[in-house]
Amino acid sequence: MFKKHKTAIKITHMIPPAFVVTLLSLLILIASSIISPVFIFAVLGLYFILNLLTVISKTSKSNFKFVPMVSFLIFVLHLSWGLGFLVGLILPKSKNGKHRLN
């Protein structure tokens, strides 16, 4: 969609892809022994703390038991949205509008 409607993108749409790029960059730097693995744990820790605080602040007392599941699902949503956005930018499209993997 971004390739077709460049003006439709908002800054909030770029947060999940930036999160994925950050995680991938940290993994590459860790694999190259440039930085310590502590950095990826710090980023993920900060993410999960903010994620949990946000979910807790938006959850009613009667639904509090769902906080861990909702927090995990938001993480999965951000990861899949970020990866999907980046894949959509990288992979070429065929004539029928679908991405080609070959």
Angle subtended at Cα 12 by Cα 51 and Cα 72, rounded to the nearest 5 degrees: 25
Q: What is the mean pLDDT of the chain?
A: 86
pLDDT at residue 9, rounded to an integer: 75
Where do we find the tokens 């947060």?
Answer: 15
Partnered with residue 99 across adjacent β-strands are 93
H-run or E-run covering 81:
helix 67-90
Distance CA 59, CA 71 (A): 11
For the whole model, what pTM was predicted?
0.76
Domain boundaries, the chain: 18-90
Phi/psi-derived region of residue 14, left when phi > 0, alpha when psi is between -120 and 50, beta in every other case: alpha
Hunting for tokens 């909030």 — which residue is that? 12
| Overall average pLDDT of the 82-90 stretch | 89
Beta bridge partners of 93: 99
User: What whole-number distance in Å separates Cα of residue 78 and Cα of residue 16?
Assistant: 5
- Residues 47-68: what's their mean pLDDT? 93
Tell me the residue length of the chain. Answer: 102
